């Protein structure tokens, strides 16, 4: 009989030797790198991979469509956000049924007033296969708006302007920006940032005067240290434009009077290696979140005009070894602090006059995520915050900081018969091999048969100090309702337990991240949540590095791996300063020009550690225009895995030829990719019926 099994693409082998520190590595697929993304051979290979994925997933088309319709059907299509009041206008966004993008609106003075549309992203997206609206910022008078657009998915934005009184677009157009834009405290000047064309590093702050050519814009600040990036914002008081320069471990801020935007920048506090700080201005003073002699950060206050003299600063929130100070919001009468206590986010309210003791907003869920929402008015006593848990959809509250009365304004409506009472979440603690206590957030249906192992989807990240919150996932319901357990491993490299948790999962301690994740997997198997033939792991970007490394270390532990836009060619990328985003990540991964870091990174780099052995079923997803992790990293990884692996398991590579790091744009398009992923998992586990 004729073999009808689809044939996997076989990539051409062209060995390229790379020698560093006496070590010679051979990269057979370096030729796949094409910075311009127009090489015929490369594009043909990527299209062949897509065709192979389609062929291998043949027979799941109906399932994918069913999953897509399930996920789409849970969304309230004619939905809108909770309006917030800012400078006399109620602002909100809304969706119209069947449309992919939001419509941004406002009403003057009252919610009963006539609606004015600021930007209809659906109209702006017409004619583009990809569209992203990056930033919206309204001028001081409220008559002009600046907005930014990316139509390539490369995170390079064009700034445009609109007269809200007339509805007409202004002739001012600024190309090649990062997507952030901030008005000064007037209607005449905006500040924005530009990227280096090659490395995509945000390195310049510019000032534009409305009505003048972009070619005449003034360069306000240029960051020459390639390990830093820059951004600009208007302070909460609207008194200053703040220009911040930031690397992984060091910050420096400058500022200028927002009413005299053509003035010279003043340095807030000169940079000092290892000193991280962020600045806000309110109540006539500067407020500084700083790690100076405070590993988990403290909050200081600095008077105007003397900021470089730290002897004039006063302490507002002291450093604590067991509490991580994450964010703060300054009101006229209250300070709101978002903190992390025992791995969980909390919101603490502290009156400035000390007439009442500070207090923490409490919740019934054992595991949740709470955060400040839109709070543009500093004179109010009402705090708006967001809340969600693994069983509670995203919710918006108003909280009276004096009476402590809480009002639910909106909870995302989940259609299709969703009832939170049908699901249960828990938080378990796993003891890692070195004794570290690693939390795991778990959710499943309440009626799940826990007497036998269940299919389990384990997710993780563990880099950049990014904490993975126990969030609600609407798409996740399609797996939970099919008998899956979903687990988030809060591994080191995040910041769930403060700065030490991050420091213990980076640089020469990066192996802790992978070990934690593996130890969580083994715990979930040993305690009967799942079994190795039902255990799936997933991660994106640096999380793709995570699952790629783990897959090399313990391939027999997993049934399947999903790697989304994975950072897998660690050593080669970090050795190349021309690749976007490389230089200011040395403090995260190390600089492999140093033999110590080279050797350590080489020990876990997924691409460099592919071996001739059996691997689980694997799905790799990327976008051709990815600006964060270049498409050729996963492309080379897949080619090398296919050439080396000794099993007959699936190895599929899906490339969105029109998207970048964040995947497809639009409210519904993203579900197509998720439907493919879920169908792949169900196929692996023989659960497609």
Q: Please tell me the predicted confidence (pLDDT) of residue 581.
A: 66
User: What's the pLDDT band for 347 if we cut at 50, 70, 90?
Assistant: very high
Q: What is the dihedral of CA 24, 28, 31, 37, to 10 degrees?
A: -110
Mean pLDDT score, 257-276:
96
Q: Please tell me the predicted confidence (pLDDT) of residue 151.
A: 87
172 is catalytic: no
Residue 73, H or E segment:
helix 61-73
User: What's the pLDDT band for 154 if we cut at 50, 70, 90?
Assistant: confident
> Which residues are CB-contacts of 99 (< 8 A; sequence separation ≥ 6)?
122, 667
Mean pLDDT score, 560-571:
97
Q: How much of the chain exceeds pLDDT 70, in percent?
A: 98
How far apart CA 640 and CA 620 sit, in angstroms, is: 13
- Identified catalytic residue from 367, 463, 467, 541: 541
Q: Please tell me the predicted confidence (pLDDT) of residue 625.
A: 87
Task: Evaluate whether 436 touches 430 at the Cβ level (below 8 Å).
Answer: no
Residue 347, H or E segment:
strand 344-351
- Identified catalytic residue from 626, 654, 656, 665: 626
626 is catalytic: yes
Q: Please tell me the predicted confidence (pLDDT) of residue 662.
A: 61
- Identified catalytic residue from 189, 444, 523, 661: 661
246 is catalytic: no
Q: Are strands 266-269 and 437-445 parallel, antiparallel or unpaired?
A: unpaired
| Partner residues linked to 621 by β-bridges | 564, 654
Q: Name the least confident of 319-323, 562-566, 573-577.
A: 573-577
The tokens of 435 are what? Answer: 């004794």
Mean pLDDT of the chain: 94
- Helix, strand or coil for residue 508? helix
pLDDT in tens, 417-468: 999 999 999 999 999 999 999 999 999 999 999 999 999 999 999 999 999 9
How far apart CA 88 and CA 164 sit, in angstroms, is: 15
Q: Please tell me the predicted confidence (pLDDT) of residue 364.
A: 86
Q: How far is CA 377 from CA 90, 237, 382, 384, 442, in A?
A: 12, 10, 9, 10, 37
Measured over the CA atoms of residue 19, residue 21, residue 25 and residue 29, the dihedral's sign is negative
Residue 264 per-residue DSSP state: P
Q: Please tell me the predicted confidence (pLDDT) of residue 626.
A: 80
Q: Please tell me the predicted confidence (pLDDT) of residue 155.
A: 80
Task: Evaluate whether 633 touches 567 at the Cβ level (below 8 Å).
Answer: yes
pLDDT in tens, 180-235: 999 999 999 999 999 888 888 899 999 999 999 999 999 999 999 988 999 999 99
Residue 663 has pLDDT above 70, yes or no: no
Which residue shows structure tokens 């999953």?
A: 67
Mean pLDDT score, 546-561:
98
- Which one of 95-99, 216-220, 660-664 scores highest in mean pLDDT? 216-220
Mean pLDDT score, 168-178:
94
Q: Please tell me the predicted confidence (pLDDT) of residue 664.
A: 61
How far apart CA 460 and CA 430 sit, in angstroms, is: 14
Residue 54, H or E segment:
helix 40-56
Decide which of 354 and 160 is more confident.
Answer: 160
State the number of CA atoms in the 13 A half-sphere of 233 facing the CB.
13
Q: Name the least confident of 85-99, 112-126, 484-498, 653-667.
A: 653-667
Residue-range domain boundaries for the chain: 322-413
pLDDT in tens, 422-433: 999 999 999 999
Decide which of 407 and 156 is more confident.
Answer: 407
Q: Please tell me the predicted confidence (pLDDT) of residue 1.
A: 54
Query: Shortest CA distance to 158 belongs to which of 203, 192, 196?
Result: 192
Residue 659 has pLDDT above 80, yes or no: no
Residue 3 has pLDDT above 70, yes or no: no
Q: Please tell me the predicted confidence (pLDDT) of residue 660.
A: 64
User: What's the pLDDT band for 256 if we cut at 50, 70, 90?
Assistant: very high
Decide which of 49 and 5 is more confident.
Answer: 49
Q: Name the least confident of 164-173, 309-318, 322-331, 664-673.
A: 664-673
Q: How much of the chain exceeds pLDDT 90, in percent?
A: 88
Q: Are strands 395-400 and 229-234 parallel, antiparallel or unpaired?
A: unpaired
Mean pLDDT score, 62-83:
94
């Amino acid at each position: 009989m004729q073999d009808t099994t689809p044939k996997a693409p076989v990539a051409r082998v062209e060995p390229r030797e790379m020698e560093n520190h006496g070590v010679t590595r051979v990269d057979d697929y370096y030729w796949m790198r094409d910075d311009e993304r127009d090489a015929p051979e490369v594009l043909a290979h990527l299209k062949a991979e897509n065709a192979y994925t389609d062929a291998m997933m043949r027979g799941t088309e109906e399932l994918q469509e069913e999953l897509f319709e399930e996920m789409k059907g849970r969304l309230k299509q004619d939905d809108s956000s909770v309006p917030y009041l800012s400078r006399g206008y109620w602002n909100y966004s809304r969706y119209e049924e069947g449309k992919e993008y939001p419509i941004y609106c406002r009403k003057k003075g009252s919610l009963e007033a006539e609606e004015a549309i600021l930007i209809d992203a659906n109209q702006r997206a017409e004619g583009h296969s990809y569209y992203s609206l990056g930033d919206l910022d309204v001028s001081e008078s409220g008559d002009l708006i600046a907005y930014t657009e990316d139509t390539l998915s490369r995170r390079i934005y064009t700034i445009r302007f609109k007269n809200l009184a007339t509805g007409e677009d202004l002739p001012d157009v600024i190309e090649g920006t990062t997507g952030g834009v901030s008005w000064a405290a007037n209607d005449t000047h905006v500040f924005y940032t530009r990227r280096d064309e090659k490395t995509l590093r945000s390195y310049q702050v510019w000032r534009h005067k409305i009505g003048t050519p972009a070619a005449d814009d003034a360069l306000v600040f240029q960051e020459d240290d390639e390990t830093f990036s820059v951004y600009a914002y208007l302070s909460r008081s609207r008194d200053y434009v703040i220009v911040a320069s930031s690397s992984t471990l060091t910050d420096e801020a400058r500022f200028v009077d927002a009413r005299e935007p053509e003035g010279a920048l003043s340095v807030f506090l000169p940079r000092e290696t290892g000193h991280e700080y962020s600045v806000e201005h309110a109540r006539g003073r500067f407020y500084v979140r700083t790690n100076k002699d405070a590993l988990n950060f403290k909050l200081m206050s600095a008077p105007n005009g003397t900021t470089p003299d730290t002897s004039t600063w006063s302490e507002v929130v002291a450093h604590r070894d067991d509490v991580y100070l994450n964010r703060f919001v300054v009101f006229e009468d209250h300070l709101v602090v978002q903190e992390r206590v025992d791995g969980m986010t909390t919101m603490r309210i502290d009156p400035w006059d000390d007439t009442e003791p500070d207090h923490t907003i409490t919740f019934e869920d054992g595991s949740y995520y709470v955060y400040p929402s839109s709070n543009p008015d500093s004179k109010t006593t009402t705090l708006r915050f967001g809340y969600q848990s693994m069983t509670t959809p995203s919710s918006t509250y108003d909280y009276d900081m004096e009476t402590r009365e809480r009002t639910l304004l909106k909870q995302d409506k989940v259609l299709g018969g969703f009832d939170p009472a049908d699901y249960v979440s828990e938080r378990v603690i796993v003891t890692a091999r070195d004794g570290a206590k690693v939390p795991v957030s778990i959710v499943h249906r309440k009626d799940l048969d826990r007497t036998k192992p269940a299919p389990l989807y384990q997710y993780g990240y563990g880099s950049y100090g990014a904490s993975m919150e126990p969030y609600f996932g609407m798409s996740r319901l399609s797996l939970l309702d099919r008998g899956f357990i979903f687990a988030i491993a809060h591994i080191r490299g995040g910041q769930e337990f403060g700065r030490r948790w991050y420091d213990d999962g980076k640089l020469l301690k990066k192996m802790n991240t992978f070990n934690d994740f593996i130890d969580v997997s083994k715990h979930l198997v040993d305690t009967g949540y799942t079994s190795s033939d039902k255990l799936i792991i997933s991660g994106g970007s640096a999380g793709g590095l995570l699952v790629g490394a783990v897959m090399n270390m313990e391939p027999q532990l997993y049934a399947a791996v999903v790697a989304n836009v994975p950072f897998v060619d660690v050593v080669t990328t970090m050795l190349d300063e021309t690749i976007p985003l490389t230089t200011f990540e040395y403090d995260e991964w190390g600089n492999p020009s140093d033999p110590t870091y080279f050797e350590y990174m080489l020990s876990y780099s997924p691409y460099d550690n592919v071996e001739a052995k059996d691997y689980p079923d694997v799905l790799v997803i990327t976008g051709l225009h990815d600006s964060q992790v270049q498409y050729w990293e996963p492309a080379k990884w897949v080619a090398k895995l296919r050439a080396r692996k000794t099993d007959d398991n699936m190895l599929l590579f899906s490339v969105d030829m029109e998207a970048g790091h964040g995947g497809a744009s639009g409210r519904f398009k993203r579900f197509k990719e998720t439907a493919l992923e879920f169908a792949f998992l169900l196929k692996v586990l023989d659960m497609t019926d």
